[in-house]
Homo-oligomer: A and B are copies of this chain.
């Protein structure tokens, strides 16, 4: 818990002076003021995060946290649990969706075992296993509070190592068969939203499995009574190990003054945990896409995040984060590389253009 507490206490507000300088420069660039919209806002946010008027995004790293879920015993997923392990090898081999999109977007990928059920020894996978999968949340807590804190601290450690290695932007990604179930449970606890909003089809379950999933989440909350005012309690009782790990990545990024791009629904659940532990960390978050999962929009609204990509994606793994990381980098380049009106000899807006 010590690393978690010290990380939280080291997260500071954004640098207002750097943001003002970035905003002033945006207003002098050869375009109508505000006409690059979110790209302008992002560049100002990045300035505030990095504490410099011209932020630089070069080395971008997507951190994929993996864990298994005892609740799959209830039949809440369309895929068998062994897929979590099999996908670890696919990540390591470069054949998964995140590998392709990260290469395209100029991101590196790190894969972390925070809680895969099976033992694994795959070169390139960072071993941070806290326990081999969670317990079945329909019957009791997913894990102990100590384990929840350890999962978060694993994420803090990985984020810190990447920032120490020169990363200027982190992105979140997840792998864990069954993990929309704990994510929906977390959203339900924090938002009070009903099952129609908070619970979706994940990787593609049918009507019967969806009804079962709704019942399982209702049971999980009744059995465990998670305390919405205590995010660590929520994570331990109805969460997941990779969700904890990603909350740690977010907190670690904020503590290291680095932007962190939030992927989809599972990453959003992690962001809710992180924001619950430290509301200030929200200003270090960058939203990526809106997932097909019905609860994702509510998650983003709750976090105050504005997604950029509407592409009906629901794969996870950090695929949306990789695409959005490139947009964040583009925003920094706009700020740094566009000519000003004075430099380009371009006339500014008419005075009386009212």
Kindly state whether residue A93 has any CB partner on chain B within 8 Å: yes
CB distance from A352 to the nearest CB of B (A): 9
1/0 contact trace for A139-163 toward B, CB 8 Å?
Answer: 0000000000000000000000000
Which residues of A are in contact with B by a Cβ distance under 8 Å? 29-39, 77-80, 82-83, 86-87, 89-90, 93, 95-97, 99-101, 103-105, 203-209, 292, 307-315, 319, 323, 326-327, 329-330, 333-334, 337-339, 343-350, 353-354
Q: Once the chains are docked, how many angstroms separate the CA of A347 from the CA of B142?
A: 25
Closest residue on chain B to residue A334 by CB atoms: B100
**Which residue from B38, B203, B312 sits with its C-beta under 8 Å from A349?**
B203
Q: A78-B353, A103-B333 are in contact. List 10 more A-B contacts (CB 8 A).
A: A30-B96, A31-B97, A37-B313, A38-B311, A77-B353, A86-B347, A99-B337, A100-B337, A309-B309, A323-B330
* Chain B residues near A37 (CB-CB < 8 A): 292, 311-314
Listed A/B pairs (25) with beta-carbon separation below 8 Å:
A30-B95, A31-B97, A32-B79, A35-B315, A36-B311, A36-B315, A36-B319, A37-B292, A38-B312, A77-B353, A80-B347, A86-B346, A90-B339, A95-B344, A100-B330, A100-B333, A100-B337, A101-B334, A103-B337, A104-B330, A203-B349, A204-B349, A207-B354, A209-B353, A307-B310
* A103 CB contacts on chain B under 8 angstroms: 333, 337
Distance of A319 Cα from B37 Cα, bound (Å): 11
A330 nearest in chain B by CB position? B104
Residues in B neighbouring A345, C-beta threshold 8 A: 86, 89
Nearest neighbor of A353 in chain B, beta-carbon distance:
B78
A30 CB contact (under 8 Å) in B90, B326, B346: B90
Q: Which of A77, A309, A353 is most buried by chain B, counting CB atoms within 10 A of its CB?
A: A353
**A310 / chain B contacts, CB cutoff of 8 Å:** 307-310
CB distance from A111 to the nearest CB of B (A): 14
Q: In the complex, what residues of B have CB within 8 A of residue A205's CB?
A: 353-354
Instruction: Knowing A334-B97, A344-B86, A344-B95, say if A308 contacts B311 (CB, 8 Å).
Output: yes
Contacts of A292 in B (CB 8 A): 37
> Is the beta-carbon distance between B203 and A329 smaller than 8 angstroms?
no
Asked if A354 contacts B204 (CB within 8 A), the reply is no
**Looking at the complex, which one of B36, B82, B326, B339 makes contact with A347 (CB distance below 8 Å)?**
B82
Q: How far is the CA of A354 from the CA of B213 in the complex (A)?
A: 12
Which residue on chain B has the smallest CB distance to residue A348? B79
With CB as the reference atom, state the residue of chain B lying closest to A312.
B37
Give the distance in Å from the alpha carbon of A131 to the alpha carbon of B96 in the complex: 52
Assembled-state Cα–Cα distance A96/B338 (Å): 6
Contact B33 A204 (CB under 8 A): yes
Contact B90 A344 (CB under 8 A): yes
Contact A36 B79 (CB under 8 A): no
CA distance A308 to B30 in the complex (A): 25
| Cross-interface CB contact of A338 among B32, B97, B346, B347, cutoff 8 Å | B97
Q: How far is the CA of A111 from the CA of B34 in the complex (A)?
A: 24
What chain B residues lie within 8 Å of A30 (beta carbons)? 87, 90, 95-97
In the complex, what distance in Å separates the CA atom of A82 from the CA atom of B339?
17
Bound form: Cα–Cα A30–B175 in Å? 13
**With A and B bound together, what is the CA distance between A313 and B339 in angstroms?**
18
Closest to A97 in B: B31
Complex CA distance for A207 and B207, rounded to whole angstroms = 51
What is the CA–CA distance of A338 and B338 in the complex, to the nearest angstrom?
A: 36
